[in-house]
Structure 1
């Protein structure tokens, strides 16, 4: 009996000690060479946060300026783009460049609601309040975000690029027509062409009628297993591009086989980066011995 009591006491003591010991705390995984920059509230009451990835040589070459790829929906797509960039830079098929994911400062945010304000160039339906402000977002890029990157991160103002998916892809196409001198390359992954009844197609035709050039490279994708109506809109834009004959615009269309809407991002961004940065790539073609 005495031995039984001692055993119970030992077990109880061990349980107490275990309960008193805190669970081990492990460090969070972070993406190397990255920073988060929350910006002050702007004139439109928007509080942006930048996800910034710096190339490997950034600290070693303090006089060097770098191209910048700006990516919409940074809270979702920044990590995907950076992972692909690291692979492509290793293979020397893209130059070293800075990646900036565009997002919002704060916790527990409704990204779906927030992004509608920035990324839609037209109202998303008659009851969609707080949408259709893409031009204000472009103005904020010009006034607040580009100067910060070019002042503090040695971004090259002559080498800006823009990428986005879905509504971000629509914003990318809109920026190309609204302010064609801002960027040298565009990646529109599964752009929401159908918004506003193919509104962006009307903009494309109107711009083509001016005969003005678009001195840039454009990569447009759709996903084979998108919602059929959504994919049809992308295909209408892709089919229209050859007929528009925008002077100086170099473009490529692609359908990502076997993927649905979000699954197309990884391949779209990877191939898109290779395409838009091709003129700056250290090497092209097969690997050399």
Structure 2
């Protein structure tokens, strides 16, 4: 074998070895997660549920779990799964099932969420929240509770922006169905304050609103969006509804999209506070073992 051929083989071997040492390009998969397609009779269209099960789910076939129903799953599922893992490690919340509301590929998310999350119609592409809420209460929740062992008494609804508007409105439109409501920078100014008007109508005939509710906004958000949220926080706090445990929160220096991280940590901690595990956090356990 000639020296040139030997040199070429050595070069090719080196290149192949170097290539095999590089990390493989592979998709990142969220554990214990599945997508469930649903054709809704309530909305008349296709939806997808992103179902994230707790780590203990498979090994505890007789156990039921509280359920978080969260909007905008096509954007927020990675954030929620990471937040969940951190809160579980710190022992701030019990194990729970997460159910993200989403749409199949090809849907325009901005168009669909504007239609499904808004409580009044400002045009032909909005105001279908009642149908979407019926979809959740009459189709999604029964499916999760029968197929995935979700609890009927531990339901939480959450959302941001238009999703936050929907999450608060659900307390008035389906009283008692959800035990907790997380509204991060809710669109309280929608349709000239339709949310505040909904509360005013409800308050005329009701003194009770049974729920744990978290409402937040960022102080760096656009004033025209931020100020209606702060005004609604004050309005709701002044009602003193029996059964309502309300936490209003302002995030200093945070803008509209960035509020989700802190908002979900504080919101989930608040709504699950009555069920907070008694055991110490993961860090505390680790430090105790070293002592």
Give the TM-score normalised by structure 1: 0.88
Q: Per-residue CA shift, 1:21-47, capped at 9, x if unaligned?
A: 9xx973210111111111135353221
- 1:33 is aligned to 32
Superposed, 1:93-108 pairs within 5 Å as 93-105=92-104, 107-108=105-106
- Asked whether the equivalents of residues 71 and 159 of structure 2 are also in contact (C-alpha less than 8 Å), the reply is yes
Give the whole-Å Cα distance in 1 for the aligned partners of 2:97 and 2:183.
Answer: 19
- Asked whether the equivalents of residues 218 and 252 of structure 1 are also in contact (C-alpha less than 8 Å), the reply is yes
Superposed, 1:235-250 pairs within 5 Å as 235-250=230-245
Q: Which shows bigger deviation, 276-285 or 209-218?
A: 276-285
What is the alpha-carbon root mean square deviation over aligned residues?
2.6
- For structure 1, which runs of at least 5 residues remain unmatched after alignment? none
Give the whole-Å Cα distance in 2 for the aligned partners of 1:242 and 1:210.
Answer: 17
Q: Per-residue CA shift, 1:145-197, capped at 9, x if unaligned?
A: 01110011000011100100000000011101111111000000000000011
Q: Does 1:134 align with 2:124?
A: no
Give the whole-Å Cα distance in 2 for the aligned partners of 1:34 and 1:120.
Answer: 28
Aligned partner (choices 174, 193, 201) of residue 198 of structure 1: 193
Give the whole-Å Cα distance in 2 for the aligned partners of 1:103 and 1:276.
Answer: 23
Q: Does 1:78 align with 2:77?
A: yes
Give the whole-Å Cα distance in 1 for the aligned partners of 2:61 and 2:175.
Answer: 30
Tell me the secondary structure at the aligned position of residue 44 of structure 2. coil
Give the whole-Å Cα distance in 1 for the aligned partners of 2:42 and 2:256.
Answer: 34
- For structure 2, which runs of at least 5 residues remain unmatched after alignment? none
Shift of 1:209: 2.1
Give the whole-Å Cα distance in 1 for the aligned partners of 2:279 and 2:174.
Answer: 30
Give the whole-Å Cα distance in 2 for the aligned partners of 1:171 and 1:224.
Answer: 21
Shift of 1:78: 1.7
Aligned partner (choices 156, 159, 168) of residue 161 of structure 1: 156
Q: Does 1:222 align with 2:220?
A: no
Shift of 1:285: 9.0
- 2:254 is aligned to 259
Give the TM-score normalised by structure 2: 0.87
Give the whole-Å Cα distance in 2 for the aligned partners of 1:109 and 1:135.
Answer: 20
Give the whole-Å Cα distance in 2 for the aligned partners of 1:88 and 1:58.
Answer: 17
After superposing on structure 2, the runs of 4+ consecutive aligned residues of structure 1 that deviate more than 6 Å are none
- Asked whether the equivalents of residues 205 and 244 of structure 1 are also in contact (C-alpha less than 8 Å), the reply is no
How many equivalent residue pairs?
A: 275
